[in-house]
Amino acid sequence: MLNLETDIANLNRVGASTAKKLKKLGTATVRDLLFYFPFRYDDFSKVTPIARLATGQSANVVGQIDLLQNKRSPRRRINITEALISDGTESLRVIWFNQPFIARILKAGDWVSLAGKVEDDYGGPTMTSPVYEKVTSPNPSFVRRGTSGFYQGGNNAIHTQGLVPNYHLTANLTHKQVRFLIKQVISLANKITDWLPWEVKQNVKLISLGEAIKKIHFPKTDSEIRKARERLAFDELFLIQLQSQLVKKSLALSQGLKIEFHEPETKKFVGSLPFKLTNAQRKAAWEILKDMARGRPMSRLLEGDVGSGKTLVAVSAMLNVALNQKQAVLMVPTEILARQHYDTVCRLLADFGAKIGLVTRSQREISKSQIPNPKQILNSNDQKTKLNSINIMAEADIVIGTHALIQADVKFNNLALAIIDEQHRFGVEQRQRLIEKSGGKLTPHFLSMTATPIPRSLALALYGDLDLSIINEMPQDRKKIITQVVPEKSRAAAYEFIRQQIRQGRQVFVICPLVDSADKSGAKSVEAEYEKLAKIVFPDLAIGKLHGRLKAGEKEKIMREFLDGKIKILVSTSVVEVGVDAPNASVMMIEGADRFGLAQTHQFRGRVGRSRYQSYCFLFTDSQAADTLKRLEALTKNHDGLALAKLDLKFRGPGEVYGTEQKGFLELKIASLFDYALMKQAREQAIRLLEIDPGLNRWPALKARLGEREKKAHLE
């Protein structure tokens, strides 16, 4: 008998390898599977008669197989399964590539339901690699071959008809497999404890959890999807609010470390910069320093669009902590960024005698920055002693690092300030873990930084426990980045333009969606583009490549050569998406731009335009689809991250915009950042419940659910 805790390996048709793949997605049990929500639906709620298919349309067709055969294409060395399907109105040609087994599943005379995109290759309608499933033969009286009558569905199809769910998949799993499995266990949704208090459901008018889970996977109508989403989104927001309210209460009670403001040194630091801070930077720094001088732990979010200069604000805070003989840590999401911040901080604080440490998976260094000439530090490693993380975390005044900081079984000596850069890349639990490394009795001050724009009212609703500082102004010398969608025919001209920019001393990023072309999706890869640019297009220029599969040492070397201006063109995957600061780069060229979200592309674009030079962003795409082009055009007109995030949501749906990369948006799977109304309700309900019973003892299921969340947070 199946139950919620049944291992998915015990489900019908799950072999060892499928089980492994499912577990990789985080679905180990039936319960996990039920909570594995689709992010999108294909609307195949109407069966279209073949005679009425329009080219370019996604459609569901039901018909009988007249003919089906396997062929080998000798030239392309691939297997082609070809079929002719008719539904009484017309016939449709269907082709599948490299799936010869289809000829064993389907045969002439079978009825099939197909879902896919209609093309018009050979004069008549064609579907290439549609999703297929066998259906029961329709009532013969219903089918009048040769007339306009056609089969209307009404069978048990789950892959090709109705609102068909799409899941985020990896590792060669298919939507079909996932749907099939969920169908097997969907009735168990009724067994899930609905932990939301009855009165909350009543107040907000939400459906039950079991109902919501059934409907999110197999909805019949749009309104069912809406209802299911609303319930599940509320759950997420409500738990966040409860937690956030609880944190706020405990912070209000706890003691913090007083960090005195060292005015002369801070002035000296600011004065040593080659430019003036913007007023917004000043204000943010002041808010932070004032906050840390109080005896209560700071908990603050620093928000400013890419390139607004958040790093300096963080450095001024860390400097003051070091001057108070306490420790500060800055945690960042990538090794590249850690190295870059480390070098920057060493350089900026060279005159202040602070010990600065670096801790990543592969790099551990400490430097006492008393070297008057900053160049010296950048270019030589002699001053930096290699050490292990224990020494660094005990000794350094300022530590910069990646996740390695929280993985290592080491503590700080007396941590007074924890800063997280690009906070949307970290989960709540990782922040918590960093703070727990403090080594002292008092809660350290906490600052997270993000370029993801959220309006103040929303931030409040989302993070009730955080104070907010906003940098809403760019440094004065910045020019707007000129952005263009470049058609393939102008590629040569774009390369020529790049050549000119390099001649003028500038540098260029080329972003590709893939590392190598092993996957057949046809997207551009770093390896292939690098080869092409280095051998054919710019054989005379120094070109580098960067991706996650390179060893840390190699990555660092390439990045350094790029920052030093030795490498002129850097071909990279999205590893440079966040934080990388190369002020001399003026062109950001993005291949396969349609594969990235608008918000993400805006982040890429933020890698250029970081100095007074006019910068450019060129977007390339193979897609001709009108909506894709429209989406990309939005980038050419829009330079505001928030507006772009909203548009993205409209174009792609919530799961995609703040998808897996945006962990810091609090593991929102269903809710979106723009669910203002729901967020407000979640906050009100959370506050209300805590007023009634601060211990939540009246609602044991809710309490258990909250506890689960925390336990999970501590184990990971």
Contacting residues toward ligand ADP, per CB under 6 A = 275-278, 281, 304, 306-312, 451, 475, 579, 581, 583, 610
Least Cβ distance, residue 392 to ligand ADP (angstroms): 23
Task: Name the minimum Å distance from CB 579 to Mg ion.
Answer: 4
Cα 177 to Cα 24, 39, 180, 401, 557, distances in angstroms = 15, 16, 5, 40, 43
Residues sharing a CB contact under 8 Å with residue 691, sequence separation 6 or more, in sequence order: none
Which residue, 369 or 448, is less far from Mg ion as judged by CB? 448
Q: Please identify, using beta-carbon distances, which residue of 114 and 481 lies nearer to ligand ADP.
A: 481
Residues touching Mg ion, count (CB under 5 A): 1
Residue 401 is given by DSSP the state E
Residue 444 makes contact with Mg ion by CB under 5 A: no
Q: Which does 306 bind (CB under 5 to 8 A by kind): ligand ADP, Mg ion, none?
A: ligand ADP
Residue 116: how many CA atoms within 13 Å on its side-chain side? 22
Cα 650 from Cα 638, distance rounded (Å): 15
341/705 with CB nearer Mg ion: 341
Question: What gap in Å lies between CA 691 and CA 686, rounded to an integer?
Answer: 9
Partner from Mg ion, ligand ADP, none contacting 713, C-beta within 5 to 8 A by type: none
| Measured distance CA(545)–CA(511) in Å, rounded | 10
Name which of 130 and 579 has its Cβ closer to Mg ion: 579
**Which amino acid appears at position 521 of this protein?**
S
Distance between terminal CA atoms of the chain? 31
Cβ-based nearer residue to ligand ADP, 160 or 311:
311
- Give the nearest distance from C-beta 472 to ligand ADP in angstroms: 12
Q: What are the angstrom distances between the C-alpha of 207 and each of 44, 203, 211, 535, 680?
A: 25, 11, 7, 61, 18
Record the tokens describing residue 196, joined without a space: 């939301």
**How far is it, in rounded angstroms, from Cα 435 to Cα 275?**
33
Helix (H) or strand (E) holding 431: helix 428-436
> Residue 475 binds what, of Mg ion, ligand ADP, none (CB under 5 to 8 Å, by partner type)?
ligand ADP
Least Å from the CB of residue 219 to ligand ADP: 41
Contact string (CB under 5 A) for Mg ion, positions 543-582, x = contact:
------------------------------------x---
Which of these, 31, 41, 18, 19, lies nearest to 167 by C-alpha position?
41
307 binds, among Mg ion, ligand ADP, none (CB under 5 to 8 A by kind): ligand ADP
Nearest-approach distance from CB 173 to ligand ADP, in angstroms: 36
Nearest distance from C-beta of residue 547 to ligand ADP, angstroms: 22
Closest separation in Å from C-beta 603 to Mg ion: 10
Please report how close the Cβ of residue 642 comes to Mg ion at its closest, in angstroms.
Answer: 17
Write b or e for each residue in 582-608: b if 16 or more Cβ atoms lie within 10 A of its Cβ, otherwise e.
Answer: beebbbbbbbbbbbbbbbbbbbbbbbb
Q: Given the complex with ligand ADP, which of 273 and 493 has the nearer CB atom?
A: 273
* Contact between 137 and 65 (Cβ < 8 Å): no
Contact partner at residue 285 from ligand ADP, Mg ion, none, CB < 5 to 8 Å by partner kind: none
Instruction: List C-alpha distances in Å: 206 to 215, 351, 685, 693.
Output: 13, 60, 13, 22
Question: Which residue has the closest beta carbon to ligand ADP?
Answer: 309
Shortest Cβ distance from residue 658 to Mg ion (Å)? 19
- Spatial CA neighbour of 570 closest among 559, 579, 557: 559
Q: Nearest approach, Cβ of 420 to ligand ADP (angstroms)?
A: 13
CB of 310 or CB of 547, closer to ligand ADP = 310
| Residue 581: CB minimum distance to Mg ion, A | 7
> What is the contact mask toward Mg ion in residues 380 to 399, using x (rule: CB under 5 A)?
--------------------
Contact partner at residue 219 from ligand ADP, Mg ion, none, CB < 5 to 8 Å by partner kind: none
In terms of Cα–Cα distance, which of 338, 518, 660, 539 is closest to 526? 518
User: Which of ligand ADP, Mg ion, none interacts with 153 (beta carbon under 5 to 8 A by kind)?
Assistant: none
Nearer to Mg ion, 219 or 307 (CB): 307
Q: Using CB distances below 5 to 8 A depending on partner kind, what does residue 101 bind out of ligand ADP, Mg ion, none?
A: none
Question: Partners of 94 in the beta sheet?
Answer: 83, 127
Quick one: 281 or 438, whose CB is closer to ligand ADP? 281
Which lies closer to ligand ADP via its Cβ, residue 87 or residue 303?
303
Beta carbons of 293 and 260 less than 8 angstroms apart: yes
**Which of the choices Mg ion, ligand ADP, none does residue 312 contact, using the CB cut-off of 5 to 8 A by kind?**
ligand ADP
Would you say 112 or 471 has its CB closer to ligand ADP? 471
Shortest Cβ 449–Mg ion spacing (Å): 7
Determine the Cα–Cα distance for residues 392 and 340; give it in Å rounded to an integer. 18
- Select 273 or 692, whichever has its Cβ closest to ligand ADP: 273
The entry of ligand ADP, Mg ion, none that residue 284 binds, CB within 5 to 8 Å by partner kind: none
Q: What are phi and psi of 63, to 5 degrees?
A: -165, 180
**Min dist. Cβ of residue 118 to Mg ion (A):** 46
In SS3 terms, 47-87 reads as ECCHHHCCCCCEEEEEEEEEEEEEEEECCCCEEEEEEEEEC
Q: Are 499 and 568 in contact (CB under 8 A)?
A: no
Closer to ligand ADP at the Cβ: 282 or 703?
282
- Pick one of Mg ion, ligand ADP, none as the site partner of residue 597 (Cβ within 5 to 8 A by kind): none
Neighbours of 692 (CB within 10 A): 12
Token pair belonging to 2: 């199946």
Interacting residue ranges for Mg ion, rule: CB under 5 A:
579
